[in-house]
Chain A
Amino acid sequence: MKKMKKIFLSIALLTSAFFVNKVQATPIKLKAFMTFCGTIHTIEDTVSDKTMAAIFDYYEYMDCGD
């Protein structure tokens, strides 16, 4: 299970997880991160590292609060 999570995260990070916004036809680069309870979230690559830390805290609360 852990291996699967790692593989998923690695794919998300290493392949830079491109997808095409159909409206603007502009590729959007994504960042991915994993909470301590194992959930994975993706967010646009334009966010700063400090914002990433805040988003990580937010989802730690939402996903791992129990």
Chain B
Amino acid sequence: MSSKNLFIIVCCFAMHVSAQSEMDTTALRVSYVSKMRTMEDVKNLSNDEKVLDIGKHSSHFYSRWKEHNNAIMDSIFSRGGTYQDYRSELEKTGFPNSMTPFHVFKNYPKKGLLTYTDKVFQSFIYEEPMEMPDWKLSEGDTVVLGYHCKKAQTTFRGRTWNVWYTMDIPYSDGPWKLYGLPGLILHAADAKGDFIFDCIGIKQGNMGPIVLRKEKYVNCTPQEFEKIRRSSLENPDLYLKKIGFPSKGYDAKGRPIVYKPRIPCLLEYVLKNYKK
């Protein structure tokens, strides 16, 4: 073996070891039930179970239902299964389909950066600098899951949030992009009643790595993603057709579906003047 080849192998090994040492593992798993309005004209809030995995230097917030169903999909397709196999397994052992399958990674891939992924048929990904909400600590206290909690409020990217946080769990983290309080957020609700996160369980221990799911992502900016979300709801069939998947839809009575333009109900508003 030439010295050049040996040098390359040593370098690859060093990079591998370095990448391993940077990988964070979950030390605390916080479970929330979430109720979220998906579209402005929808009366009922959509249920889901969210998980916040907190590691030493990063965290990951995601839908437990979606992760479970993804695991079923991966398992079926890796064994050469078909779409029908997937659907049949989903009906037997799957959770309901998550209407809010986004992921929020804080301090990931490195400190000070937030990674966000979401699905509108394709999987989209963007990174942005971490932005800590400007919190106002309020009077009042309560008990959530046996933990003494204090109240705080913030207006963040177009929504006012009221939260309960506990200093008994000294992690400055919370659901979605909320963080920056002197303790873990156990309850968060926006003032309009469109979004609610309620803690239902906390577990300690080593519970796997904090890592981005391996799949094909389309890179975008937060602004571009908001445009995509809005345009897909204006005409779902046209959106798919533009990507190269023309389809036709029929309602339960067999009549062709004519979609009316709908407006998404968003956790954050990053576009100042939205135009089609």
Contacts and interface: CB of A to CB of B under 8 A. Distances in A.
Q: Do A and B bind each other?
A: yes
A59 B259 CA distance: 12
Contacts of B240: 55, 58
Interface string A35-66: 01111111110010111111111111111111
B251 A39 contact: yes
B31 to A, nearest CB: 23
B250 A49 contact: no
Contacts of B121: 54-55, 57-58
Contact of A43 (B38, B101, B245): B245
Contacts of B246: 43-44
B227 interface: no
Contacts of B254: 4-5, 8, 40
Nearest to B122: A54
A60 B97 contact: yes
Interface in B72-102: 73, 77, 81-83, 86-87, 96-97, 99, 101
- Size class of the contact patch on chain A: 20 to 34
Contacts of A40: 249-251, 254
A14 to B, nearest CB: 13
Contact of B77 (A1, A49, A61, A63): A49
State the majority secondary structure of interface residues on A. Answer: helix
Contacts of B242: none
A65 to B, nearest CB: 5
Nearest to B82: A49
A58 B246 CA distance: 13
A54 B123 CA distance: 10
A49 B83 contact: yes
Contacts of B202: none
A55 B240 CA distance: 9
A58 B250 contact: no
B245 A41 contact: no
A57 B77 contact: no
A15 to B, nearest CB: 15
Contacts of B236: 58-59, 62
A50 to B, nearest CB: 6
Contact of A61 (B38, B41, B43): B38
A21 to B, nearest CB: 11
A58 B77 contact: no
Contacts of B247: 41-43, 55
Given A49-B86, A62-B232, 14 more contacts: A1-B252, A33-B83, A39-B249, A41-B248, A41-B250, A42-B249, A50-B77, A50-B83, A52-B83, A58-B120, A59-B236, A61-B38, A62-B259, A65-B46
For the complex of A and B, the 5 pairs showing the least CB-CB separation, nearest first, are A38-B252, A49-B83, A66-B42, A52-B83, A58-B121
13 contacts: A4-B253, A5-B254, A36-B96, A37-B252, A41-B248, A43-B247, A49-B81, A50-B77, A55-B240, A57-B119, A65-B38, A65-B99, A66-B41
